Amino acid sequence: MKRIFNKDNLLLFLPILILMIISFFCMYQSRFIKSIYSHHLAKQVLWYFLGFLLLIFLQKIKIRVLFNSSFILYVIGNILLIFVLFLGKEINGARAWFTLKIFNFQPSEFMKIALLLFLIHLSFYFHHQKISEIQYILFSVLATCLPSLLVFLEPDTGAIIIYFLLLFSVLLFSGIKKRWFVLAFSLLGIFMLLFFYCYFFKQDLLIQFMGTSFFYRVDRLINFHTGSGMQLNNALATIGHAGFLGRGIQKNLLYVPEFPTDFVFTLAISIFGFCGALIILLCFLGINIFLIKKIFLVHSYSYQLFIHGFFWIFVYQQLQNILMNIGLFPIMGIPLPFVSYGGSNMFIYFLFLGIILNCTKKERT
């Protein structure tokens, strides 16, 4: 255990401990907002406890076995995504969770790590010239599209973005020719031009092609300022009245739906003020610097790729959650790492970090 909680990892664990304390205060505040949030604090303490146990356990195993099992994990992840469409519990219009006795399990969270490991497996074959560049790109895109399609049916737009961000990060690090990125962004640009032309001038055609449900999902993302209504307005009002040091625990806080999850950053500001927001940002900065240092510390190509992929989605999740709380990004179901309430997201991030710490042991580099 001393090899994990040492001065070399201080830049990781000190920010996590601070974020944990902030999260506990936010969960305690939640009990005064809505009755269904009354057990959130106890459960969040449990998630953190189990998360640290998972992190310690991962230091005892041969991590290469996990990388070698990437295809099996990828298949299991897709099977879970299929099952959840039929057997999952619908929450806020999305059928994305398995309901267990203690908590709800979200397969799309597990798919983040399964997809990354499988993409690394494909990149390893390309890196050692066992498959051609075009084969590698094609297999990687198809491997990302399958879970993205399943998650799209839930629906969960945020998870789709994360999956393709993982694809981009792995392809970028793998050293493929730049012309593929030029081609990809050119095709994406043409698609976006055609889409927005139809959106503004041929909406009937777009609805006929995409379907009413998907069109209105896209419409809410594009017009997020006008479509957010009470949720965003109350969040901005809460932030505006927080002051520099916050207002502490309040029993009559202005209500914002999804306060402990999507809008936990607003909840933290209401308690700790802009000083608290600055502390959260500094904590994430510390973890981000820790991850960047680890990328250059390890020598294994697969391990470097794993840390690189996690870094991209970790930073994205920070930015997406914080900026949607202040009205600069559209509202999606993207939790704030280590602060938002939830077991699935907490376990996956401790799983990521446990693997990274194992990868960066001296004897494994």
Which residue type sits at 11? L
Mean pLDDT of the chain: 85
Please state, in angstroms and rounded to a whole number, the distance separating the CA atoms of residues 334 and 317. 6
Please state, in angstroms and rounded to a whole number, the distance separating the CA atoms of residues 222 and 360. 41
C-alpha distances (whole Å) from 174 to each of 134, 299, 301, 350 are: 13, 14, 9, 25
- Give which of 56, 45, 105, 104 is closest to 77, Cα–Cα: 105
pLDDT tens for 92-147 read 667 777 877 667 788 899 999 999 999 999 988 887 777 788 889 999 999 999 99
Residue 62's pLDDT band (cuts 50, 70, 90): confident
Predicted confidence at residue 99, as pLDDT, reads 79
Lowest-confidence pick of 7-11, 106-110, 148-152: 7-11
Q: What is the DSSP letter of 330?
A: -
Please name the residues in contact with 2: beta carbons below 8 A apart, sequence gap of 6 or more.
Answer: none
Please state, in angstroms and rounded to a whole number, the distance separating the CA atoms of residues 214 and 155. 9
Peptide bond into 330 cis (omega under 30): no
Radius of gyration of the chain (CA): 21
Please state, in angstroms and rounded to a whole number, the distance separating the CA atoms of residues 362 and 149. 40
pLDDT tens for 343-358 read 888 999 999 999 998 8
Please state, in angstroms and rounded to a whole number, the distance separating the CA atoms of residues 22 and 272. 9
- Give which of 232, 230, 233, 202 is closest to 215, Cα–Cα: 202
C-alpha distances (whole Å) from 85 to each of 15, 77, 154, 209, 315 are: 36, 13, 6, 23, 29
Q: DSSP string of 269-306?
A: HHHHHHHHHHHHHHHHHHHHHHHHHHHHH---HHHHHH
User: By the 8 A CB rule, do 23 and 264 touch?
Assistant: yes
Residue 265's pLDDT band (cuts 50, 70, 90): very high
Please name the residues in contact with 156: beta carbons below 8 A apart, sequence gap of 6 or more.
Answer: 94, 96, 108, 333
Please state, in angstroms and rounded to a whole number, the distance separating the CA atoms of residues 51 and 351. 8
